[in-house]
Amino acid sequence: MIETYDKLPFNLQKVPIISIMKNILGCLISAFLTLTGTSAFAASTNWQEVMGGAVRLITSGPLENGTYLAGIEFLLDDGWHTYWRYPGEAGIPPQLDFSASENVGNIEVLYPAPELYDDGFSTSIVYHHGIVLPVKITPNDLNSEVSLSLSMFFGVCSDVCVPGDATFGLQLTPDSESDRHSASLIERDLDRVPLSATSEAPFVQSLDVIEAASKPALLISATLTGVGEVDPGLFAEGPEGSYIGVPRLTDRTGNTATWTLPLNGLAHDNGQSQLTLVLVDGDTSVESQHPVTIPQN
């Protein structure tokens, strides 16, 4: 359930905390704009609420280097989470539809490095608290307005899981005023988007097929930046139609770590497949693609 304050005045006791937070934030922002003489936000939608959280669409403002920068912002109550683009062993990944947009040549949705969540029955790949999925929009015609339309389906979970859907629309113009607040939120989580892996640590070093519990599995080895106090994270995503588990850390020695990942559920074409791996090592995260050959009986 959404948390409420029982010690608030009677007429506020049943107001969800997330609503109170948003109202306070709105008042502070309005006061700031009044004092500074800055105009209202360049472009952001109203919040759409679901049990456990809320979501909205924001943008940083004008066209820069041929691209608009937007973001899908989730604000989640304590104890609630939403899901990465692949949810892990259970969950509802976000399904995003921009097809009704106009004057759009390309849209790229970026996913910050996630975290693991184990509820005792399954392990999921999630985000907690507040998260922005950065969105880069390239117009067909740089001098014309962009009509950005998003229809989305997503999941928000705690002790129960709640499916949510929302529809947003924004008009983006080349001379829109900058929105520093939205820009800072987008840039914050843009910095958390994994970089492409290189030959410098951290990187995934090898994938080897082994037998685990009489079934084929992958032994995944990675080179890390050093001996850290926090275990590294590894997240796997297969081709469309895959239903794979979560890599399990089996060893951490010095700057090397290994995981195992069962191959059952990995979609393939005559034994040939591919894995996208996101390796998180401290504050650094990298992404890489790896071909996989599945043994055929």
pLDDT of residue 230: 87
Last residue in a domain, options 172, 193, 214 = 193
Residue 115 inside a domain? The answer is yes
Tell whether 91 and 150 lie within a shared domain.
yes
Per the domain annotation, does 25 fall within a domain?
Answer: no
Distances (CA, A) of 59 to 65, 133, 167, 229, 260: 15, 11, 16, 37, 40
Domain shared by 76 and 205, yes or no:
no
Whether 21 is covered by a domain: the verdict is: no
Q: How many domains does the chain have?
A: 2
Residue range of the domain that includes 270 = 196-293
* Same structural domain, 157 and 252: no
The β-bridge partners of 237 are 276
From the CB of residue 288, how many other CB atoms can be counted at a distance below 10 Å?
16
In a domain, 23, yes or no: no
Last residue of a domain, one of 162, 193, 224: 193
Together in a domain, 154 and 181: yes
**Same domain membership, residue 153 and residue 131:** yes
- Domain stop point among 141, 176, 193: 193
Do the domain assignments include residue 208?
A: yes
Residue 77, domain member (yes or no): yes
Q: What is the pLDDT along the chain (297 residues), one digit of tens a residue?
A: 334 333 333 333 334 444 444 444 444 443 433 333 333 334 799 999 999 999 999 999 999 999 999 999 999 999 999 999 999 999 999 999 999 999 999 999 999 999 999 999 999 999 999 999 999 999 999 999 999 999 999 999 998 999 999 999 999 999 988 999 999 999 999 999 999 999 999 999 999 999 877 789 999 999 999 867 789 999 999 999 999 999 999 999 999 999 999 999 999 999 999 999 999 999 999 999 999 999 886
- Same domain for 232 and 165, yes or no, is no
Report the phi/psi class of residue 256: left, alpha or beta, with left for phi > 0 and alpha for psi in -120 to 50: beta
Q: CB–CB of 171/145 below 8 Å?
A: yes
- CATH number for the domain spanning 230: value is 2.60.40.10
Residue 13 has a pLDDT of 38
Amino acid at the residue 156: V
- Answer yes or no: are the C-beta atoms of 71 and 131 closer than 8 Å: no
Rounded distance, CA 55 to CA 6, Å? Answer: 25
Residue 34, domain member (yes or no): no
